[in-house]
Amino acid sequence: MNEYDTEILKSILGSGFLFTTDPGEADIVLLNTCSVRENAERKVFARIYQLKHENPGLRIGILGCMASHFKDKLFEQKSLPVDFVAGPDSYRQLPEMLARSQDSGFDVTLSEFETYENIFPFREKGVNAWIAIMRGCNNFCSFCIVPYTRGRERSRSPQSILQETQQLVRDGFCQVTLLGQNVNSYRYEDTGFPALLKKISRVEGLKRIRFTSPHPKDFPSELLTVIADNPGICKHIHLPLQAGSDRILKKMRRKYTRQQYFDLVGKIRDVCPEMVLTTDIIVGFPTESDTEFWDTVDVVETVQFDSAFIFKYSPREGTAAAKNYPDDIPETVKTERIIQLNGLQKNISLTKNRAHIGETHQVLIEALETKKSKADVQGRNDGNKLVILTNNDYRLGDMLNVRITGATAHVLKGITE
């Protein structure tokens, strides 16, 4: 979402500014920030001091969720060298803020309406394009700061999303990823998420459609049918579990039980057995006992996710959990639990990935080198798994039939047929 917001920002700032990726060349540095976990915020603070140390004359702006989270504090704390603060709904104000040459600027008002619908983001040429179909969230999961930093849920019109998708195809993109805090809540007049997805799947020239994330509490059967019936919609669902114990799920205000989660997974696999499932999990939520942690382990063992992002709980100021429950699980216990769960998931991912050896997957090439080698290219299969193969004059956006010859817990390796 932040990468996409940065593209919107670049478009809003437009031709009045020159962009650079080298902070040493910049007069102004804007940090587009995330507040979802404490660690993300810590990194931003460290970065501000580092930037200012390297160039005391630099003007620095904090954008995004940390702007909303710290509101007046950021500005009042004169010790923090920040000149601009703009929340996720205030980006239209930025050109004016930055133009006031020596002054500082501040706007963190959250809007009920802002979707940046009429702004065409400034995207680098590539394979994948993000499109936020909605902004904000109304769910108020007790651990989560997003409803406070990004405000209430609002959806963008299907017409504008379709027009943008058509334009993206003309610009050479072949995949779109639809973004929303809970895409199942997407609604614009009569159009819900399954209908939107169906409309987008008819855009000619688009090779792949992805979306993230649906909430397990309100996953409609119609959505499953739309995914299963349309070859262009990738067979991958990111379905955040968060916890496997009913008592903890209730305290998290997730609005589903472990049995309902199992039932949903069963339904998904009945309709589409090859669906790749990934998830998010939090360990060490306040009062989580050993037995309740093992309930989460049990769900992970039973569901056999393809991969999982596992986080230690960190209290976020202003959320119901931070207000009502002391952060009482010791750091050492959180660490033990995350190590345990990551170890288990790694084995599951490895077993699942190895089972692909010998199969042929369609791979969309996304990068013409890998972190480790300039002689290799990388892409993703339909299920969003990374696939690496030796370069053979391939181009970005090539869709190749790749026979899988090797696997680790994180990547597949293959050769073209």
Chain positions contacting ligand 5AD, by CB under 6 A: 36-37, 143-144, 240, 242, 280, 282, 311, 313-314, 316
Cβ proximity to ligand 5AD, 117 vs 292, nearer residue: 292
165-184 binders of ligand SF4 (CB under 6 A): 181-182
Q: Find the binder of ligand SF4 among 48, 65, 141, 226 (CB under 6 A).
A: 141
Q: Find the binder of ligand SF4 among 61, 88, 147, 383 (CB under 6 A).
A: 147
Residue 215 binds: one of ligand 5AD, ligand SF4, none (C-beta under 5 to 8 A by kind): ligand SF4
| Three-state SS annotation for the chain | CHHHHHHHHHHHHHHHCCCCCCHHHCCEEEEEECCCCHHHHHHHHHHHHHHHHHCCCCEEEEEEHHHHHHHHHHHHCCCCCCCEEECCCCHHHHHHHHHCCCCCEEECCCCCCCCCCCCCCCCCCCCEEEEECEECCCCCCCCCCHHHHHCCCEECCHHHHHHHHHHHHHCCCCEEEEECCCHHHCEECCEEHHHHHHHHHCCCCCCEEEEECCCHHHCCHHHHHHHHHCCCECCEEECCCECCCHHHHHHCCCCCCHHHHHHHHHHHHHHCCCCEEEEEEEECCCCCCHHHHHHHHHHHHHHCCCEEEEEECCCCCCCHHHHHCCCCCCHHHHHHHHHHHHHHHHHHHHHHHHCCCCCEEEEEEEECCCCCCCCEEEEECCCCCEEEEECCCCCCCCEEEEEEEEECCCEEEEEEC
68 is an interface residue for ligand SF4 by CB under 6 A: no
Cβ proximity to ligand SF4, 182 vs 353, nearer residue: 182
Closest by CA position to 69, among listed 92, 49, 44 = 44
Cβ proximity to ligand SF4, 12 vs 320, nearer residue: 320
Cβ proximity to ligand 5AD, 67 vs 82, nearer residue: 67
Residue 199 binds: one of ligand SF4, ligand 5AD, none (C-beta under 5 to 8 A by kind): none
137 is an interface residue for ligand SF4 by CB under 6 A: yes
Residue 384 binds: one of ligand SF4, ligand 5AD, none (C-beta under 5 to 8 A by kind): none
Cβ proximity to ligand 5AD, 59 vs 236, nearer residue: 236
CB of 25 to ligand 5AD, least distance (A): 33
144 is an interface residue for ligand SF4 by CB under 6 A: yes
140 is an interface residue for ligand SF4 by CB under 6 A: yes
Residue 178 binds: one of ligand 5AD, ligand SF4, none (C-beta under 5 to 8 A by kind): none
CB of 321 to ligand 5AD, least distance (A): 7
Residue 140 binds: one of ligand 5AD, ligand SF4, none (C-beta under 5 to 8 A by kind): ligand SF4
CA distance 242 to 28: 38
215 is an interface residue for ligand SF4 by CB under 6 A: yes
Are 295 and 258 within 8 A, CB to CB? yes
Cβ proximity to ligand 5AD, 165 vs 242, nearer residue: 242
Cβ proximity to ligand 5AD, 158 vs 214, nearer residue: 214
Residue 313 binds: one of ligand 5AD, ligand SF4, none (C-beta under 5 to 8 A by kind): ligand 5AD
Tell me which residues touch ligand SF4 (CB under 6 A). 137, 139-141, 144, 146-147, 181-182, 215
